[in-house]
Amino acid sequence: MTDVRALAAHLDGARRDGRAVGMLSASEAGLDVPVAYDVQRAGIELRRKRGERFAGVKMGFTSRAKMVQMGVDDVIWGQLTDRMLVESAADVSGLIHPRVEPEIVFLIGRDVTRAADVDTAVAGIAVGYEILDSRYDGFKFTLPDVIADNASASGFGVGAWHSPRDVANVGMLLEIDGRVVQTGSSAAILGDPVRALRAAARLATDAGIVLRAGDVVLAGAATAAVPLPKDAHVRVTGAGLGSVEVTT
Amino acid sequence: MTETATTAVEQAADRILAAYASGTPCAPVRDLVATPDEAYAVQERLTTTWLGEGRRLAGRKIGLTSQAVQRQLGVDTPDFGMLFADMAVPDGAEIPAGAVMQARAEAEVALVLEHDLTHERHTVADLIRATAFALPAIEIVGSRIRDWDITLADTVADNASCGMYALGNRPVRLADVDLRLCGMVLERRGEQVSTGTGTACFGHPLNAALWLADMLVRVGRPLRAGDTVLTGALGPMTAVAPGDVVEARIDGLGDVRVAFGQESAKEEDAS
């Protein structure tokens, strides 16, 4: 019998110590996808008990290439807390092997009690970035491992909100210290980030979580993630959506 | 140029022309030509041959505009090839099987000029003034070199691996589109196979076109009013197979598609 709470505490300790650990799946034969989400939920519960508040959800494996690479046919999701939100400076010294990727972010304007209502609940759209930091050695994991690890969530930042609009094919840039390191289109996010938003609503609702006014949905990455170094200036730009910047 | 070098250039051109004639890819030509200048001399020989056959020069293509591809070939500049009018197809057209050897497709911004660009050195202002409008384009690249086994010299000699191209139908003025941040999606049979943006093309499609304009003056075939410039891929290219339909959508510029014909039954199969 898998001890969900012990596994969650193990990963939580790794995160707080900034220390990589081996994959849970190596020793836990019972770690399938549903159990992995139980571990993820138990990990969030630990953070909630320390005063962190739910802030939204993040979607993972939203690119076709990544799904094929992982051998999966659905997206994964993780939970965001208010402590993960970065304003303009991110301290990466306590992280294990952080990466950053450009994202499209949705702002929820009213509670989503039915997943089908999520489109009309969107109050704003922005460019953002996600800081990823797998708690596993070498950033390597199986599907249940990464789900248990809250989809490698670490931090996120959001640019200025814009009124809801078509974001199916927004050109996006990721710059580090003023140099373009990744270019792409929001179309890499399931063909249209709106599909990731709908998947987020479906998965959250199925898990008994209500997306509330003020929550955010990180729809997924428009390009591959890149290592996030110390003392770096990072900027994500999206056509018509402005930019968001962070220094480390 | 020495007599030996001329011979090598001729031999390389003959090898590539034979591949076109037979429809069978040939060995690389890097055993005959090594430097970019020699490779462009081969390309010029092809151009002269084709112009002599009555083909109409309709524009140029820029290749090797992405950092990833430049790194792959160990170069830090783009290259260019010649576009002839018979290489262009309209939006939605079907390209017969075998029309382009070892075909691949990529999405690009096409610029159509209304003024000549004949200065020794052009500014972006010159280029913007000379551009009538932009169009979305799909370039069907191909290689006459077996298995795409190419170095810079091979691809330059082989007309920059040019095949055919499809242009969209709605002209857009440069003032009305952000060519740096335009999102690009390329789909094959409705499945997304590539995404990107204008920055992936040499920083900006106009930067690539500016490089081209200066280069072409240097080699004596400057861009002229009416010419089409395929500025370079906005994201990774895709392989294509008979029966495929490939569609490109470029945000702010529109969309364009091209179909690939089924292989016709070969005579030996029928017998």
DSSP bridge partners of B87? none
**Over residues B173-195, mean pLDDT:** 96
Could you tell me if A243 lies within 8 Å of chain B, comparing CB atoms?
A: no
Does residue B30 lie within any of the structural domains? no
pLDDT band at B265 (very low <50, low <70, confident <90, very high): low
A175 and A181 in contact (C-beta within 8 Å)? yes
Cross-chain Cβ contact A171/B191 below 8 Å: no
pLDDT confidence band for B267 (50 / 70 / 90): very low
A248 Cβ contact partners less than 8 Å away, ≥ 6 residues apart: A89, A90, A91, A92, A228, A229, A230, A231, A232, A234
Q: What is the CATH number of the domain that holds B116?
A: 3.90.850.10
Q: Is A220 on the interface with B (CB under 8 A)?
A: no
Which helix (H) or strand (E) element contains residue A19? none
Q: Is residue B51 part of a domain?
A: no
Instruction: Give the closest-approach CA distance of B100 to chain A in angstroms.
Output: 27
Q: Per-residue confidence of chain A (248 residues) as pLDDT tens digits?
A: 789 999 999 999 999 999 999 999 999 999 999 999 999 999 999 999 999 999 999 999 999 877 877 777 789 999 999 999 998 899 999 999 999 999 999 999 999 999 999 999 999 999 999 999 999 999 999 999 999 999 999 999 999 999 999 999 999 999 999 999 999 999 999 999 999 999 999 999 999 999 999 999 999 999 999 999 999 999 999 999 999 999 99
Q: Which two tokens stand for residue A181?
A: 């390191």
Q: Is residue B34 assigned to a domain?
A: no
Closest CA of chain B from A170, distance in Å: 5
How high is the pLDDT of residue B269? 45
ipTM score of the complex? 0.86
Test A171 with B199 for CB contact under 8 angstroms.
Answer: yes
Residue B226 inside a domain? The answer is yes
Looking at residue B2, its pLDDT comes to 54
Amino acid at B57: L
Task: Check pLDDT > 70 for residue B268.
Answer: no
Predicted confidence band of residue B97 (pLDDT cuts 50, 70, 90):
confident
Q: CB contact, 8 Å: A182 with chain B?
A: no
Q: Cα Rg for chain A, rounded, in angstroms?
A: 17
Answer yes or no: is B196 within a domain.
yes
- For chain A, what's the residue count? 248
Q: Residue B270 above 50 pLDDT? A: no
Which own/partner contact pairs does B123-132 have at CB distance under 8 Å and 24+ positions apart? B123/B210, B124/B206, B124/B210, B126/B213, B127/B206, B127/B209, B127/B210, B127/B213, B128/B174, B128/B206, B130/B223, B130/B225, B131/B174, B131/B209, B132/B171
Q: Per the domain annotation, does B16 fall within a domain?
A: no
Tokens 């390191």 -> residue: A181
Q: What is the pLDDT of residues B225-238, one digit of tens each?
A: 999 999 999 999 99
pLDDT in tens, B113-138: 999 999 999 999 999 999 999 999 99
* Contact yes or no for A94/A62 (Cβ under 8 A): no
Q: Which domains does chain A have, with CATH numbers?
A: 4-247 (3.90.850.10)
Q: Which amino acid type is present at position A160?
A: A
| E-only strand ranges, A120-239 | 122-132, 153-158, 171-176, 179-185, 216-221, 226-227, 233-238
Nearest to A72 by CA among A147, A143, A132: A143
Interface of B with A (CB under 8 A): 178, 180-185, 191-192, 195-200, 203, 235, 249-252
Pick the closest to residue A75 from A167, A191, A216 (CA basis). Answer: A191
pLDDT at B72: 86
Query: How many independent structural domains does chain B possess?
Result: 1
User: Considering the entire predicted model, what is its pTM?
Assistant: 0.90
Could you tell me the residue range of the domain that residue B95 belongs to?
57-263
- The answer to whether the Cβ–Cβ distance between A180 and B196 falls below 8 Å is no
Query: Taking CB atoms and an 8 Å cutoff, what residues of chain A touch B247?
Result: none
Does any domain span residue B104?
A: yes
**Set of chain A residues whose Cβ sits within 8 Å of the Cβ of B197:** 171-173, 183-185, 239
Residue of chain B whose alpha carbon sits nearest to that of A65: B193
Does a structural domain hold residue B242?
Answer: yes
